[in-house]
Each structure stands twice: as C-alpha cells, then as structure tokens.
C-alpha cells in the first residue's frame, strides 16, 4: 500500500492510475478493519468497548494531524513530494508494526 501511495503522483494515464489505485483500495479496506479485529481479539469483553473507542479516536486524531501536516508540506514543497513522503512514512510505520507484532502472532 505504501508503494501504491508513493507511486500515485507518477501515474500519467488512466490505466496507470487504475493499476496504482487497486492495491491502494485493497490496503485501505484492510487498514479500516484489521486494527478493530486485532484490538477486539486482544481485549477482554469488559475492556473491549473502551479499547475500540480509543482505536476510533486515535484514527480520527491521526486523520486530522495527517491532513494538516500534508497541507503544510504541500504548501512548502509540492503535492508530489507530499505523496512520496506520506508513502514513505506509511511504509516505515508498517515495517515497525510488522517487526513488533507481525512475527509474534499466536
């Protein structure tokens, strides 16, 4: 997904755009549902509602901060640089998560 996001500004034709957006769409669907399922599996039934509300709140705060940071970066440089930076940041975060949790699954 990070590669698709970083490659998005490089697409110059409709077929290139479609090839770039398909993995991005699949990744977006996973990003929306996987953390909720992961938190639901980790928490006890008594803590589940609080944990899911924290996941939702963290997503909303991240959306606001990410959009604000992207707007500032696009204003200082270009939209292409912003997309490449966002893709790189997403790739780093995904690798850190995989190193911390992905190889430790039960």
Q: What is the pLDDT of residues 89-100, one digit of tens each?
A: 888 988 888 888
Could you read off the pLDDT of 7-22 as tens digits, one per residue? 778 888 988 888 888 8
pLDDT (average), residues 13-39: 83
Alpha helices in 1-106 (DSSP H): 2-7, 14-42, 48-76, 79-100
Q: 61: pLDDT confidence band, cut at 50, 70 and 90?
A: very high
pTM exceeds 0.85 for this model: no
Nearest to 1 by CA among 103, 83, 70: 83
């Amino acid at each position: 997904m990070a590669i698709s996001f970083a490659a998005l500004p490089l697409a110059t034709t409709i077929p290139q755009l479609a090839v770039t957006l398909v993995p991005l769409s699949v990744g977006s669907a996973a990003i929306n549902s996987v953390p909720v399922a992961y938190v639901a599996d980790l928490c006890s039934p008594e803590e589940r509602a609080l944990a899911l509300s924290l996941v939702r709140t963290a997503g909303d705060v991240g959306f606001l901060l990410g959009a604000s940071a992207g707007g500032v970066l696009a204003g200082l440089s270009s939209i292409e640089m912003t997309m490449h930076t966002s893709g790189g940041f997403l790739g780093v975060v995904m690798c850190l998560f995989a190193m911390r949790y992905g190889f430790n699954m039960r």
